[in-house]
Structure 1
Amino acid sequence: MKNYNRDKSRITMLREMLGLSQKDFSDNAGVSQSALSQLETGKTKISLDTLQKISLAFKVNCNWLVNGKGDIFLKEITKNKIKIRNSILTMDIQDTALIPLISEEAHAGYINGHQDTDYLGRLDVYKIPGYEHGNYRLFEVNGDSMIPTIYPREILVSEHADNWDEIENGSLCIVITEDGIVAKRTYFYEEDRSMLILKSDNAKYKTHSVPIDDVLEIWYIRARITNIFSHEQPFDFQKIRTLESDMAELKAQMKNLTDSSK
């Protein structure tokens, strides 16, 4: 988790440079003190939403905070736009309702550029009703390992998991490692949280685990955009009418038998 250490040292460095306690820093940035503490101790990675809040609160260069490059503080700020490529979008930072799409073809590029502000700014973005506020991504599904819950080529609306310790067993998540981007049900061993267990809903695929140190990002799956529709056959009303007629005839025959036995 080498990126954790870089995040931690620069966030701590910034806070100490400003002469702020964790409480004062978190209050000014609009993040919880517990989240800040976990960032500084390296338990979680900085999310793009938190990155944006810190940049706005303290006029910090996002590129420096993520990559250690450039000036620490921003030199030019306009009313509506930071004069850098924002970590989420290349647009007015107030318009956070647009969500970047990572298509199947872009999976490899995203793995390499998930913390590259220039790369993130070049992704196509979309507005999804109901998901205007928060740190979201759209991931296109690759493969059939989650059928019947998720189908290939569906688009998954996913929310960044800031605190991995709070992920509940069985949660549907997008898990990103250097080996790929997968949609799975996630589990932790209660006695050993150093391994993340990935389970498929498709019984043809075996459950496997990955070291938590190999995980780059985790995103909760919140919704899906699909072109898969049910192919159930419509009711055959002619068959229903025939069945009703047969039942009526059977009842009549039963009545005749009852009457003749009296």
Structure 2
Amino acid sequence: MTDRIEIARRIKDLRAKMDFPQSFVAQKLFVSQSAYSLMENAQNGINSEHLLRLSKLFSVTADFLLSGNNKLIEMNYKNGFIPLINARTHAGFLKNMHKEDVMDDFEYYRVPGFNPTKDSYLIENEGSSMEPTVMSGDILICQTQHKLERVLDGSIVILVTKDAILTKRIYKHDDDEYFWTESDNPNEERKKEIKKRDIDQLLMVMGKVSNVLIPHREMAFKGKMQFFEESLGALSKEVYQLNKKLNKLKPSHKN
């Protein structure tokens, strides 16, 4: 009987702390308010389904409700944890992303120095389109941007469509129905259009966790190659403009 009284006291204290009325909690448990009131007064027992619903509602573990052990914490964004969508689970996320409880099946992790919200995600990057900025296997720390007009030119984002999860740089388009996307990898096709209506979610990349350390020489080499490519492009434009001016200066030949 003591255990039931202690469980009832913890539930009552948590409800008061969250400022929830009894009717609200009863609704979440699919019971009447009078039945829930009996639970708080230790006159009614609590089954396993109610226990799980209460632990989720109050953001505590079932172990805390049963025993008062507060050394364990619920892994959710309120406690600093973020769901990880790794490469293996990309397809499942795309298939179920509109379901309310889709994130319940993912593993949760804490990132030191980052305070998540309910719209925060960890997403494992696949492919080489953003190398060397983002490597395959890097874990990207992301935040959902609900207002597309607030996205700044040149931001690194993850675009979630019904078919794919894409990591790109994004730029505004002359046509308001589109974005331009670019890859950082010079060996990939650089610029593409994407329709805004095809984007189910746009996630801003806030940072990354990487297990890849690129050798300094390789970074320097890639930087030099990019510099040479840009210089050659600028030189080609200057030569073209110079030829146009020279052609204008040539005397015209009349028959």
Q: Same fold (TM over 0.5)?
A: yes
SS class of match (2:134): coil
In the TM superposition, what is the alpha-carbon distance from 1:108 to its structure 2 partner?
1.2
Structure 1 segment 1-262 matched on structure 2, within 5 A? 74-76=27-29, 81-82=56-57, 91=74, 95-134=78-117, 135-189=119-173, 191-206=174-189, 207-232=191-216
SS class of match (1:105): helix
Taking a change above 3 Å as real, the CA distance of residues 155 and 83 of structure 1, as seen in their structure-2 partners, is: same
SS class of match (2:102): helix
What is the distance in 2 between the residues matched to 1:116 and 1:57?
28
Question: 8 Å contact 2:170–2:182 — kept in the other structure?
Answer: yes
In the TM superposition, what is the alpha-carbon distance from 1:129 to its structure 2 partner?
1.1
What is the distance in 2 between the residues matched to 1:94 and 1:197?
32
Q: Which runs of 5+ in 1 are unaligned?
A: 1-55, 60-72, 85-90, 234-262
Q: Which amino acid aligns with 1:118?
A: D
What is the distance in 2 between the residues matched to 1:222 and 1:83?
29
What is the distance in 2 between the residues matched to 1:163 and 1:117?
21
Question: 8 Å contact 2:157–2:202 — kept in the other structure?
Answer: yes
SS class of match (1:192): coil
In the TM superposition, what is the alpha-carbon distance from 1:143 to its structure 2 partner?
0.4
In the TM superposition, what is the alpha-carbon distance from 1:115 to its structure 2 partner?
2.5
Q: How many residues align?
A: 159
SS class of match (1:159): strand
SS class of match (1:116): coil
In the TM superposition, what is the alpha-carbon distance from 1:138 to its structure 2 partner?
0.6
Q: Which runs of 5+ in 2 are unaligned?
A: 1-17, 30-49, 60-73, 218-255
Taking a change above 3 Å as real, the CA distance of residues 162 and 205 of structure 1, as seen in their structure-2 partners, is: same
Root mean square deviation, CA, Å: 3.0
Higher helix content, 1 or 2: 2
SS class of match (2:57): coil
Q: Which amino acid aligns with 1:199?
A: E
What is the distance in 1 between the residues matched to 2:102 and 2:139?
20
SS class of match (1:139): strand
Question: 8 Å contact 1:80–1:93 — kept in the other structure?
Answer: no
Deviations 1:178-219 (A, max 9, x none): 120011001121x32211221000112222111111100011
Bigger Rg, which one = 2
- Structure 1 residue runs of 4+, over 4 Å off? 56-59, 77-80, 91-94
Question: 8 Å contact 1:161–1:219 — kept in the other structure?
Answer: yes
What is the distance in 2 between the residues matched to 1:57 and 1:184?
43
Deviations 1:105-156 (A, max 9, x none): 1111111212323331010110111222323101111100001111111110
Instruction: Report what 1:65 is aligned to.
Output: none
Q: TM-score under structure 1 normalisation?
A: 0.54
Question: 8 Å contact 2:76–2:82 — kept in the other structure?
Answer: no
**Sequence identity percentage:** 24
Question: 8 Å contact 1:156–1:225 — kept in the other structure?
Answer: yes
Q: Which amino acid aligns with 2:175?
A: D
Question: 8 Å contact 1:80–1:92 — kept in the other structure?
Answer: no
Question: 8 Å contact 1:81–1:92 — kept in the other structure?
Answer: no
Q: TM-score under structure 2 normalisation?
A: 0.55
Taking a change above 3 Å as real, the CA distance of residues 79 and 227 of structure 1, as seen in their structure-2 partners, is: same
Question: 8 Å contact 1:172–1:184 — kept in the other structure?
Answer: yes
SS class of match (2:137): coil
